[in-house]
Amino acid sequence: MQNNIFSGLFVGQNLLSLKEVDSTNNFLKDLLSNSKPVPEGTVIMAETQFAGRGQQNNKWHAEPGKNLTFSILLKPTFLAATDQFDLTRAVSLGVYDTLCPILGSELKIKWPNDIYYGDKKLGGMLIENILQGSQIKNAIIGIGLNINQDIFPDEAGNATSVKQILHKYYDLRQILAEICNNIEAYYLNLKAGKINDVRNVYLSRLYWFNEQKRFRANGEVFDGVITGVKDNGLLVVKQNDKESTYNLKEIEFLNNNKL
């Protein structure tokens, strides 16, 4: 169905809203496994997910009807599997560009793809790529953002929401439409070959970039500085004039609440 507030070319033009689902990513995967083709840019939005997941299978805590939990289908066949982190960059920036006018300079992207306000987590994403040979055939992009939730359970850790920060409610569908439009814009930049532009902007929005901070890796706590992100998405951290690269599971950011 057409959605008037979705002004992009294709992302969000086919929108399916669900009351409840285990996870919007799973729903989209099931849809793709049927024989009927699913158009690129399809968005599955759920009022509540009872099995939402974050990175490393962390459970995602979201109060029904108060937050954004949705998945987008993209078909980045122009991207090699080795460049799949560029899709992570584009999606993260699409979310960032939507929230930054509302929240300002405290907003950052925490590597690889969490959205932070100060030292608190506003949301994150889980991108599942389906490969065909050395190319990406389909990308299922699950996004969870805390928008209007007031209270979080203790196990949600350092979670916050737009409502907690600004003390006002926001229209979920309007924010969703803007995210879809912004993700589409960055995605089309990738498609047009402007990959370095996307990489540079991502780096400039990065949480803790060029700041001396505390990390844990290989069982050791150390002070280091994030100096970059490799093309393939590995984090580059400088410690005592020596740069090391880390995968997602290999390094932990030690915020004050973890010290």
Task: Kindly report the CATH number that applies to the domain delimited by 212-258.
Answer: 2.30.30
Give the per-residue pLDDT at 255: 80
* Distant-in-sequence, close-in-space partners of 58: CB < 8 Å, separation ≥ 6: none
Taking a C-beta distance cutoff of 8 angstroms, is the pair 118, 110 a contact? no
The β-bridge partners of 71 are 44, 142
CATH architecture type of domain 15-204: 2-Layer Sandwich (3.30)
Q: What is the pTM of this model?
A: 0.93
The SS3 of residue 161 is coil
Give the per-residue pLDDT at 157: 82
Give the per-residue pLDDT at 59: 53
Give the per-residue pLDDT at 52: 55
Q: Where are the alpha helices (DSSP H) in 110-171?
A: 162-166
Cis bond upstream, residue 112 (ω within 30): yes
The C-alpha angle with vertex 177 and arms to 82 and 171, in degrees rounded to 5, equals 130
pLDDT along the chain (259 residues), means of 10: 71 94 94 92 91 52 84 97 97 98 97 97 96 96 96 86 97 96 98 98 98 96 98 97 95 75
Query: What are the residue boundaries of the structural domains of the chain, listed by start?
Result: 15-204, 212-258
Distances (CA, A) of 95 to 68, 135, 225: 12, 25, 25
Strand order from edge to edge, sheet including 220-229: 242-246, 235-239, 220-229, 212-217, 252-253
Give the per-residue pLDDT at 53: 53
* Distant-in-sequence, close-in-space partners of 237: CB < 8 Å, separation ≥ 6: 215, 217, 224, 225, 226, 227, 243, 244, 245, 246, 251
